[in-house]
Amino acid sequence: MSIVKDPSLAPSGRQKIQWVRDFMPALSGIEERFRREKPFAGLTIAVSVHLEAKTANLGLVLREGGADVHLTGCNPLSTQDDVAAAMADLGVDTYGVHGVTPEEYEDLLVETLKCRPHLIVDDGGDLISLLGGKCAQYGDRLIAGCEETTTGIHRLVAREKAGILPCPMMAVNDAKAKHYYDNKYGTGQSSWDAIMHTTNLMVAGKTVVVAGYGWCGKGIAMRAKGMGANVIVTEVDPFKALEATMENFRVMPMDQAARLGDIFVTATGCKDVIVRRHFDVMKDNAILCNSGHFDCEVDVAALADMAQENFPRRANIQGYRLADGRTLNVLAEGRLVNLAAGNGHPAEIMDMSFAVQALSLEWLARHKDTLEKKVYQVPDEIDDQIGRVKLAAMGLAIDQLTQEQKDYLAGWEA
């Protein structure tokens, strides 16, 4: 049933999967319990997340919980063909090929949904979009699902307001274990890991422009500053802009920052963040990349239209030579740079995020008879449980409130 590029790549993929499994202790603990309790017995789960080793581990954990798992990617350039081959070899129906066209990518999503899932794990809202449209017939058994990203949750909330949400959805991205840990520290490290590996250039001494100061932007700016960059932040939210200022970053509109930056990293979840008028004033050999979910933050199509020629410069770098002789460099086609040109978040980070996914799916399965078609927040008990498990895995301990302290915090008498 699987569709992968080359089954012979499976041994390399197995190595990657085993490596990350050794560094994901929270998920390992959940897997051990799932193996005993089988909370997903009789249920089919479709997973659309960046198809690499950490996602593969989540798929294996869900299968240990009794689920029939069907796995696909959520970005044409983030699928790792050896990991996809390994999962197919391990008996998980897997639909993923690196570098497919947008049409072929959607075909792979459709193939995944033909399993008629009871539960879904979505990343950016692709599965929900199909289940609410051309693949509605495959949603006849749908109970609920989880969404991994900020961008995806924006779309879920819009669907809920419009009354067209196909099923109850859990906003996994909004969990403390996800956005505090994954979005800030994961995106911060993995974005720079990909940028530095792809360009083989210094960060120290350069002017870095970070578009967006949400959790992802905070992590990107923090790591750039730590490596010696001069960091500029652009924002549309006055309080996020104030926060960036208080943390000693320069804040200005992109129209001003475009003239100053050596490296531009977008992390807004919006479109048209860097556009034609910005390309007009950028430095020769400026580097542009995106750490938001979709490839519309940097208007690469406009840049291509402006360019006299475009040409490959290194793997995952395309140069665009403009009429005045300047060259602008786009990493990973403007797609999610940390996955399209790198290995994504570190295993320890995704351990937290995917622990939230696994426990949220379990919660949804147990409460299926009482759920409405709306967006739910991750229960606090799931968040707290994962935080404590992670602390224990790191050999750390924290204080506990006494009952007297709990009463003091909850009461008004004192």
3-state secondary structure 154-216: HHHHHHHHHCCCCCCEEEHHHCHHHHHHHHHHHHHHHHHHHHHHHHCCCCCCCEEEEECCCHH
Q: What is the pLDDT of residues 366-401, one digit of tens each?
A: 999 999 999 999 999 999 999 998 898 889 999 999
Pairing relation of β-strands 327-331 and 317-321? Answer: antiparallel
Instruction: Mark whether 110 and 19 lie in a shared domain.
Output: yes
What is the H or E stretch that residue 96 is in? strand 93-96
The answer on whether 291 is annotated among ligand-binding residues is: yes
Proportion of the chain above pLDDT 70, given as a percent: 100
The answer on whether 215 is annotated among ligand-binding residues is: yes
The answer on whether 75 is annotated among ligand-binding residues is: no
Longest dimension (CA), the chain: 73
Instruction: Mark whether 286 and 141 lie in a shared domain.
Output: no
What is the H or E stretch that residue 32 is in? helix 25-37
Q: 77 Cβ partners below 8 Å, 6+ apart?
A: 98, 99, 332, 333, 335, 336, 339, 340
Domain, as residue range, for 276: 185-340
| Domain-located, residue 95 | yes
Instruction: Mark whether 101 and 210 lie in a shared domain.
Output: no
Instruction: Mark whether 199 and 268 lie in a shared domain.
Output: yes
| Domain-located, residue 99 | yes
Domain count for the chain, please give it.
Answer: 2
d(CA 142, CA 122): 13
The answer on whether 217 is annotated among ligand-binding residues is: yes
The answer on whether 214 is annotated among ligand-binding residues is: yes
Instruction: Mark whether 17 and 89 lie in a shared domain.
Output: yes
Which whole number is the average pLDDT over 102-119? 98
Instruction: Mark whether 197 and 163 lie in a shared domain.
Output: no
The answer on whether 151 is annotated among ligand-binding residues is: yes
The answer on whether 235 is annotated among ligand-binding residues is: yes
DSSP structure class, residue 355: H
Report pLDDT for 199: 98
Instruction: Mark whether 42 and 160 lie in a shared domain.
Output: yes
Identify which of 160, 170, 162, 172 has the alpha carbon closest to the alpha carbon of residue 373.
160
The answer on whether 293 is annotated among ligand-binding residues is: yes
Report pLDDT for 414: 66
Instruction: Mark whether 51 and 161 lie in a shared domain.
Output: yes
Which whole number is the average pLDDT over 165-184? 91
Instruction: Mark whether 150 and 58 lie in a shared domain.
Output: yes
Instruction: Mark whether 174 and 247 lie in a shared domain.
Output: no
DSSP structure class, residue 334: G
Tell me the one-letter amino acid at 86: A
| Domain-located, residue 400 | no
Q: What is the pLDDT of residues 18-46, one digit of tens each?
A: 999 999 999 999 999 999 999 999 999 99
| Domain-located, residue 408 | no
| Domain-located, residue 407 | no
Write out the two tokens for 319.
Answer: 């140069």
Tell me the one-letter amino acid at 270: C
The answer on whether 345 is annotated among ligand-binding residues is: yes
Domain boundary (316, 340, 364) is at: 340
> Are residues 147 and 156 in contact, defined by beta-carbon separation less than 8 angstroms?
yes
pLDDT class of 347 with cuts at 50, 70, 90:
very high
| Domain-located, residue 398 | no
| Domain-located, residue 388 | yes
Report pLDDT for 179: 82
CATH of the domain at 275: 3.40.50.720
| Domain-located, residue 222 | yes
The answer on whether 216 is annotated among ligand-binding residues is: yes
CATH of the domain at 35: 3.40.50.1480
Tell me the one-letter amino acid at 287: I
State CA 88 to chain mean position distance: 23
Q: What is the pLDDT of residues 115-174, one digit of tens each?
A: 999 999 999 999 999 999 999 999 999 999 999 998 899 999 999 999 999 999 999 999
The answer on whether 50 is annotated among ligand-binding residues is: no
Instruction: Mark whether 203 and 167 lie in a shared domain.
Output: no
Instruction: Mark whether 218 and 283 lie in a shared domain.
Output: yes
> Are residues 303 and 275 in contact, defined by beta-carbon separation less than 8 angstroms?
no
Q: What are phi and psi of 311, to 5 degrees?
A: -155, 150
